[in-house]
């Protein structure tokens, strides 16, 4: 018997067994990949990517320094919007990067959206949120989103990322303003925070994924105490009002940087970094 099962034979048997084990594992991987492709192709749902300027933009508000603001246009230039599926929640304050299992590019090219569209516009959802894009995506929970605000020439100014048009009133004084801001920024955000959950794509029901813009961070909120952190960090409107000529104010970012004092420019820049939210959830802002 020992002649039959000598050392060489034992070695050959072991080698054959090793190949068998490795071969079996390779087969498993292939099967998993096929399963994933079939799932991605068959199970898709509608994702409605929306931008929300909130009531501050839609209905107007009173700034921290008492100016009553009413926007007629508030346009932002969006690019490189990406929706992410992750296993667990993404915390922009703690996590370095989004550990996604699926990343869906929503818009690569620049898309300009107006956050002050009139009710009834076809570009609005029933909740009056501005539609950025409607897209079919694999089902699942989209827990994170990132987007960039990139310069565009579409605002009547050259290379601006935000365009604000409207009027401001205080003590009977009215100022018509058109302002261009250009602070290219990337916002990296986690899941939408609000009463309801958003971003859950199912086969039969469309869902929203929201980019929220908190413009009270720029101008402050008269309903809050003056020493509230939001108001302490906001520019307000008075420094801008002082630049108006005969009730008119039309300046782009380059002109604002020259005419505002440096502390106000810095305050405005920081406020723009804090502009991007997902509902009540904060985002990480990276200057581009």
Q: Is 286 in the site for another protein (CB under 8 A)?
A: no
Span of 44-52, 73-81, 181-189, 278-286 interacting with another protein by CB under 8 A: 278-286
- Measured CA to CA in angstroms, residue 97 lies from 90, 200, 244, 283 at distances of 8, 21, 43, 12
Q: Which residues contact 7 (CB under 8 A, 6 or more apart)?
A: none
Q: Is 280 in the site for another protein (CB under 8 A)?
A: yes
For residue 103, give the nearest of 79, 88, 87, 86 by alpha carbon.
Answer: 86
Residue 106 or 278: the one with the smaller Cβ distance to another protein is 278
Determine which residue in the list 79, 180, 190, 239 makes contact with another protein, applying CB under 8 A.
190
Q: Is 279 in the site for another protein (CB under 8 A)?
A: yes
For residue 207, give the nearest of 222, 217, 196 by alpha carbon.
Answer: 196
Determine which residue in the list 121, 197, 242, 286 makes contact with another protein, applying CB under 8 A.
197
- Distance CA(249)–CA(253), nearest Å, equals 13
Residue 91 or 242: the one with the smaller Cβ distance to another protein is 91
- Measured CA to CA in angstroms, residue 255 lies from 71, 158, 168, 179, 267 at distances of 21, 12, 20, 10, 16
| Residues of the shown chain interacting with another protein in the complex, contacts defined by CB under 8 A | 1-2, 5, 10, 13-14, 17-18, 21-22, 25, 28, 87-89, 91, 93, 141, 190-191, 193-194, 197, 200, 214, 217, 221, 224, 228-230, 233, 274, 279-282
């Amino acid at each position: 018997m020992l002649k039959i099962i000598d050392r060489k034979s034992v070695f050959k048997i072991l080698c054959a067994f090793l190949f068998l084990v490795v071969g079996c594992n390779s087969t498993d991987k292939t099967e998993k990949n096929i399963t994933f492709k079939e799932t991605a192709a068959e199970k898709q749902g509608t994702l409605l990517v929306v931008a929300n300027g909130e009531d501050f933009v839609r209905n107007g508000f009173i700034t921290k320094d008492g100016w009553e603001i009413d926007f007629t246009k508030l346009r932002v230039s969006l690019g490189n919007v990406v929706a992410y599926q992750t296993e667990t929640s993404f915390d922009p304050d703690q996590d370095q990067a989004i550990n996604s299992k699926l990343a869906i590019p929503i818009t690569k090219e620049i898309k300009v959206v107006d956050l002050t569209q009139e009710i009834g516009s076809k570009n609005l959802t029933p909740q009056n949120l501005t539609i950025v894009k409607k897209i079919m995506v694999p089902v699942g929970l989209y827990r994170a989103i990132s987007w960039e605000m990139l310069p565009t020439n579409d605002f009547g100014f050259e290379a601006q990322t935000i365009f604000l048009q409207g009027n401001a009133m205080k003590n009977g004084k009215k100022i018509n303003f058109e302002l261009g801001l250009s602070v290219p920024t990337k916002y990296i955000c986690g899941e939408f925070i609000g009463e309801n959950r958003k971003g859950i794509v199912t086969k039969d029901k469309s869902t929203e994924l929201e980019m929220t813009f908190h413009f009270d961070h720029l101008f402050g909120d008269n309903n809050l105490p003056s020493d509230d952190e939001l108001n302490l960090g906001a520019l307000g409107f008075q420094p801008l009002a002082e630049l108006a000529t005969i009730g008119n104010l039309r300046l782009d970012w380059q002109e604002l940087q020259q005419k505002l004092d440096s502390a106000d420019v810095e305050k405005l820049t920081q406020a723009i970094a804090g502009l991007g939210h997902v509902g009540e959830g904060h985002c990480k802002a990276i200057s581009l």
